[in-house]
Structure 1
């Protein structure tokens, strides 16, 4: 991890989608990337997560946002009683076999 040393890296924000939004296996979606320090990535992605509006629950009664060791978690309670969990993971690109194209 590059905390505190000021080194620039490529960071990605991955979303671990909740069950019901695709196949039953875990499904990750690349939400955003940023080049910068760890602190810059946390600030940029923190704002992204703050503004994110999940598809489920369709009629939210309550949404809570938590900071985790590797990102954020949104938990939404729906009006029909369902609970949906979205885990956003902050990841650092450590190795790439080809030219970065995004």
Structure 2
């Protein structure tokens, strides 16, 4: 499978009246097939709520070859949001790939144990402490200590 990086682009109508214009945003990048990118783009287009119109009268989501077109009719004007999937060819602000780590050297072989090695001392047994069935001491160890504030 051919894995590529796709940009999910949203072109949205902003402003009101004569100041109304379109601005574009790259919402996300998707690595994978074009179909994977289109699925993610459709999910985002279906859940997108534009700022305008404030009181929508009708909402229509249309599929195109390279994405989707959302048309929302308001009381006086219609607003359009275009969702497009496009292959990322270049990104001047992309992070640099991390250099390949060098393979770690093999650890040295363990030295054979000598027969004269001393065995590890066994831990001191805990003094008999009355405990509940779940193993928690009935009397906390700190109770009665005079070296605590």
Give yes or no for TM over 0.5: yes
State the 4+ residue runs in structure 1 displaced beyond 4 angstroms: 23-26
- Give the TM-score, by structure 1 length: 0.78
How far has the Cα of 1:20 moved from its partner? 2.0
> Tell me, which stretches of 5 or more residues in structure 1 are unaligned?
1-5
Residue 90 of structure 2 corresponds to which residue in structure 1? 95
Residue 13 of structure 1 corresponds to which residue in structure 2? 8
Residue 50 of structure 1 corresponds to which residue in structure 2? 46
Q: Is the Cα–Cα contact under 8 Å of residues 14 and 52 in structure 2 kept in the other structure?
A: no
> Tell me, which stretches of 5 or more residues in structure 2 are unaligned?
97-149
How far has the Cα of 1:98 moved from its partner? 5.4
Rg larger for: 2
CA distance change for structure 1 residues 24 and 82 in 2, over 3 Å: closer, same or farther? Answer: closer
CA distance in 1, matches of 2:71, 2:40: 20
**Residue 67 in structure 1 maps to residue 63 in structure 2:** yes
How far has the Cα of 1:69 moved from its partner? 1.9
- 1:47-96 Cα offsets, whole Å, 9 max, x none, are 11111111111111110000112211000011x22100111111110123
- Give the TM-score, by structure 2 length: 0.56
